[in-house]
């Protein structure tokens, strides 16, 4: 029997993503020992009760020194604090990766705390649900989904290869990308859609009571799909917008221009403009179905 990819893996933050990866690592025999490092006692208790990990603690000194791989699954706004907390305990040769939805800010906030001989391989799994917490995780979350890695220039290639092997081992397809480019692409595919969904559900939430009840009652007519996205973790998303500000504001500007143009077409009754625009968007849906991402 071959030895597993890692001896000990420590998950910092054992929420939806962290606990799903822990389950998948266990399922595929990719590590010998799994530790959760989480400030939430509730999350630690749940992770232990569900046997997602072998050990759970809120003390870096109890978790980091033996870890060969550390997976940071905390909100990206906590990255600097996480780095300062674990930096002193990292062993030589340790590998760190993360699952944050922005990459430049995470690199900026984590790197100053890392000693020589430790390799950080930033990552972002394009997978998730609107649920939070260790109870919501499942081992199959990453199967057939993309894992983006944004390794830094000059990184130890063996460490990068091991992180690639980890994600392939849990069923993901791996894409290597520049972190700046990642943040621009995700601003469009993820951050803007979430901002829009939060906004429209918030607009409905501000309606007077009677109207709000009817919005819920007749939500199946389109609104419902936005509420699922807008039920995502508030702290995680707060941090995404604060840490990918430039890219989000730029793509939001494009969106607002396009919305204003459609608004004007509605006001002036320009049916041909509307029909043309609504026809073009069907092609993207077909491409997504063809790419098996639907």
Site for a second copy in 221-240 (CB under 8 A): 221-232, 234-235, 237-239
Q: Residues 146 to 175: which contact a second copy by CB under 8 A?
A: 146, 148, 175
**Which of the residues 80 through 109 are near a second copy (CB under 8 A)?**
101
Q: Is 30 in the site for a second copy (CB under 8 A)?
A: no
Q: Under rule CB under 8 A, which residues in 1-20 are in contact with a second copy? A: none
Of 60 and 100, nearer to a second copy (C-beta) is: 100
Our CB check for a second copy shows the closer of 61 and 242 to be 242
Which residues is 55 bridged to in the sheet? 35
Among 59, 143, 161, 214, binds a second copy (CB under 8 A): 214
Q: Does residue 201 touch a second copy according to CB under 8 A?
A: yes
Contact 89, 114 (CB under 8 A): no
Find the angle CA(51)-CA(146)-CA(22) to the nearest 5 degrees: 10
- Residue 189, SS3? helix
Minimum CB–partner distance for residue 137 and a second copy (Å): 17
Of the two residues 44 and 191, which places its CB atom closer to a second copy in the complex? 191
Using CB under 8 A as the binding rule, whether residue 176 contacts a second copy is answered as: no
Q: Which residues contact 267 (CB under 8 A, 6 or more apart)?
A: none
Minimum CB distance to a second copy smaller for 54 or for 146:
146
In the bound complex, what is the minimum distance in angstroms from residue 179's beta carbon to a second copy? 14
Nearer to a second copy, 60 or 75 (CB): 75
Backbone angles phi, psi at 289, to 5 degrees: -65, -45
Contact between 34 and 11 (Cβ < 8 Å): yes
Q: Binding of a second copy at residue 55 (CB under 8 A)?
A: no
- Segment 262-281, which members bind a second copy (CB under 8 A)? 262-263, 266-267, 269, 271, 274-275, 277-281
CA distance 133 to 107: 25
H-only helix segments in 120-191: 157-169, 179-186
**Among 129, 197, 170, residue whose Cα is nearest residue 23:** 170
Out of 127, 159, 160, 170, the residue judged to bind a second copy by CB under 8 A: 127
Q: Render 238-276 in DSSP notation, one character per residue.
A: HHHHHHSHHHHHHHHHHHHHHHHHHHHHHHTT-HHHHHH
With respect to a second copy, which residue has the nearer C-beta, 1 or 217? Answer: 217
């Amino acid at each position: 029997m071959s030895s597993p990819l890692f001896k000990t893996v420590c998950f910092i933050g054992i929420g939806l993503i962290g606990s799903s990866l822990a389950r998948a690592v266990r399922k595929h025999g990719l590590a010998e020992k799994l530790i959760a490092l989480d400030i939430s006692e509730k999350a630690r208790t749940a992770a232990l009760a569900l046997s997602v990990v072998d050990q759970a603690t809120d003390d870096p000194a109890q978790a980091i020194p033996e870890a060969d791989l550390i997976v940071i699954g905390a909100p990206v706004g906590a990255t600097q604090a996480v780095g300062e907390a674990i930096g002193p305990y990292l062993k030589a040769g340790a590998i760190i990766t993360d699952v944050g939805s922005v990459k430049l800010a995470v690199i900026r906030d984590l790197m100053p705390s890392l000693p020589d001989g430790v390799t950080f391989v930033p990552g972002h799994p394009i997978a998730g649900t609107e649920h939070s917490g260790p109870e919501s995780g499942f081992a199959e979350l990453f199967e057939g989904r993309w894992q983006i890695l944004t390794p830094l220039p000059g990184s130890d290639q063996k460490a990068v290869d091991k992180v690639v092997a980890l994600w392939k081992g849990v069923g993901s397809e791996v894409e290597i990308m520049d972190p700046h480019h990642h943040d621009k692409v995700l601003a469009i595919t993820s951050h803007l859609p979430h901002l829009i969904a939060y906004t429209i559900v918030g607009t409905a939430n501000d309606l007077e009571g009677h109207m709000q009840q009817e919005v819920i009652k007749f939500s199946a007519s389109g609104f419902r799909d936005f509420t699922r996205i807008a039920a995502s973790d508030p702290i995680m998303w707060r941090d995404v917008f604060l840490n990918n500000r430039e890219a989000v504001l730029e793509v939001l500007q494009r969106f607002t221009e396009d919305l204003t143009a459609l608004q004007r077409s509605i006001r002036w009754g320009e049916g041909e403009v509307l029909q043309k625009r609504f026809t073009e968007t069907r092609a993207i849906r077909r491409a997504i179905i063809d790419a098996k991402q639907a």
